[in-house]
Amino acid sequence: MPPLLTAEDYLRFPRIEADFRYAYGPDSQQFGELSLPRAEPPHPVVVLVHGGGYRELYDLSPLGSVAASLTEAGFAVWNIEYRRHGNGGEYPQMFLDVAAAVDHLRHIADEHSLNLSQVISMGHSAGGHLALWLAARHRIKDSSPLFSDSPLAVRAVLALAPFADIALLASAESSSDALLAVMGGRPDDAPNNYASGSPRELLPLAKPQAIIVGNEDTAILENARAYAGAAKALGDEASLTVLPDAGHFEIVSVQSPAWRQVQRSLLDLREQVAT
């Protein structure tokens, strides 16, 4: 088996320019980049959410090649930026940012022939948490600062090496400062934040959820299994695919064998949301 990709390799992924950039708020981190396919409209939409452990260091740029690959497959890709730990993303702001970014699709849909009845969220790592959360917004109680009475509907979600059960992660001794910052503390310190910000606490989602994790990404794999098991127990359609010889970053490298499975899973979800 070749050496696994590292975070440094991830940061060196090629930067590919999108077709358009739109601000969804006044902050410098509140924007999204839209890439369009050459296929006939209207276009199904992938909302792409980058990861990086919730830290300011990691932005949307390394996923430019992912966005380009998905446009070749016929999707419009809305690659979103949001505030993180270090640039204003402490609870509830990170969640409000990604929610506003998705809802902003309503303002650009007509201009670019986007099919808002076929929106799929897709995220990697911490972005996998947020992609699952975007699909769960309709489950948030109206007492939460994250509540919206008209969230744009996400029809399915593809979570790549996601931080799916964040309460489990945050309860561990080794939990990161960034995770605790964007959640307002550990679960015992901020139970309401986890109740509205953790995908597991918002189950069942009543929509297709596909989770992909590399078999060498052991900590994330354990967390994803816990989430998928909980989702299935509550009647959700939640599949977990474990890829051989893959770690945390292979599944967002378009040059890796893992990427073919990611594409197949996304195309399967497109078929499901189109019916």
pLDDT value of residue 173: 61
pLDDT tens for each residue of 57-71:
999 999 999 999 999
The whole-angstrom separation of Cα 121 and Cα 71 is 15
Of 71, 100, 82, 228, nearest in space to 157 by CA = 228
Give the containing element (helix H, strand E) for 194: helix 191-197
Q: Which two tokens stand for residue 232?
A: 């299935």
pTM exceeds 0.85 for this model: yes
- Contacts of 181 by beta carbon, 8 Å cutoff, 6+ apart: 54, 85, 89, 90
Tens-digit pLDDT profile for residues 189-209: 999 999 999 999 999 999 999
Residue 55: DSSP 8-state: B
Give the per-residue pLDDT at 174. 62
CB atoms near residue 155 (< 10 Å) = 20
Burial class (CB in 10 A: 0-12, 13-18, 19+), 3: exposed
What is the average pLDDT score of the chain? Answer: 96
pLDDT on residue 112:
98
* The pLDDT value given to residue 256: 95
Percentage of the chain lying above the pLDDT 70 cut:
99
pLDDT higher than threshold 90 for residue 226: yes
Q: Distance between CA 110 and CA 93 in Å, rounded? A: 28
- The more confident residue out of 233 and 168 is 233
Question: Which of 142-146, 203-207, 271-275 shows the lowest per-residue confidence on average (mean pLDDT)?
Answer: 271-275
Cα 137 to the center of its chain, rounded Å:
13
Over the stretch 158-181, which tens digit does the pLDDT of each residue have? 999 999 999 988 887 667 889 999
Mean pLDDT of 72-92: 97
Going from the C-alpha of 97 to that of each of 26, 30, 37, the distances in angstroms are 11, 7, 26
- Tell me if residue 113 falls in helix, strand or coil: coil
**pLDDT at residue 232, rounded to an integer:** 97
Phi-psi region of 165 (alpha: psi -120 to 50; beta: other; left: phi over 0): beta
- In angstroms, rounded to a whole number, what is the distance separating the alpha carbons of residues 104 and 102? 5
Q: What percent of the chain has pLDDT over 90?
A: 95
Average pLDDT on 241-264 reads 96
Tell me, what's the pLDDT at 275?
77
Round to whole Å and give the CA distance between 38 and 74. 7
Please state which architecture CATH assigns to domain 7-274.
Answer: 3-Layer(aba) Sandwich (3.40)
pLDDT at 117 over 70: yes
For the record, the structure tokens of 187 come out as 């679960």
Question: Would you state the pLDDT for residue 193?
Answer: 97
Mean pLDDT, range 64-92, rounded to an integer:
97
> Does pLDDT of 1 surpass 90?
no
pLDDT of residue 265: 97
What's residue 172's pLDDT? 76
Burial of 193 (0-12, 13-18, 19+ CB in 10 A): buried
Backbone angles phi, psi at 20, to 5 degrees: -145, 155
